Every structure is written in structure tokens, then in C-alpha cells.
Amino acid sequence: MPDSKRSKIDARAVELADFFRMMGDASRLRIVLACMDGPISVGDIATGLELSPSLVSHHLRLLRSAGILEPTRKGKQVFYDLPDQHIRRVIVGMLSHLAEQTPDQH
């Protein structure tokens, strides 16, 4: 394999590994799942997931900087949404995959 092609593959592998590390944290993944049905406020995320608002804010900063979630300010509240359809499809696909498995496959 030519060095240039291997370099591109290596770079993409690093990008994917970073993305999966970001999504591999259960709290962050729960926050992303909470945002899949449309914009939701930071307070509603914290209450719904029974997480502290400061922990939710920390994870939201990371998810926002990674380009996974998008904030929208309405008055004094900030709402988060998952606008990327590619990420949405990956999550829905993985949830479908898990639902298809028999209990002994988990």
C-alpha cells in the first residue's frame, strides 16, 4: 500500500477512534439519546437523566466542541439538538442491532 494512502487511512482511523471515545462514555451517550427527539434544555436533560447540571454542562461542552450536538439559545435557556442525520442513523442502527440480538448474545 502506498505511503500516502496508508497516511490517509491512519488519519481517518484516529478521527474515528476519537469520535467513538467521545460516544463511548455512557453519560455522554445518554445525553445524545435525550437530544434525539428534538431540542431539549440543559435542565431537562439533567432532571431526566438524574445527573447534576454541572456534569451535564461539562459533557455538553465536549459534545458541542466535537460537533455532535448543536446549542440554540431561547431567552435565558440553552437547548441542545442532534442535527447530524449521519450520527442519528448510526445510533438508530446500533439500537436496532442490539434489539435483534437474543438475550444470550449480550
* pLDDT level of residue 104 (50, 70, 90 thresholds): low
pLDDT in tens, 14-28: 999 999 999 999 999
User: Which CATH number does 3-105 carry?
Assistant: 1.10.10.10
Distance, in Å, from the CA atom of 105 to the CA atom of 22, rounded to the nearest integer, reads 25
Name 56's Cβ contacts closer than 8 Å, sequence gap at least 6: 31, 42, 45, 46, 49
Does the pLDDT of residue 7 top 80, yes or no?
yes
Tell me what pLDDT residue 102 has. Answer: 67
pLDDT in tens, 47-103: 999 999 999 999 999 999 999 999 999 999 999 999 999 999 999 999 999 999 866
Domain limits, the chain:
3-105
Residue 81: beta bridge partners?
Answer: 70
* pLDDT level of residue 2 (50, 70, 90 thresholds): confident
pTM above 0.95, yes or no: no
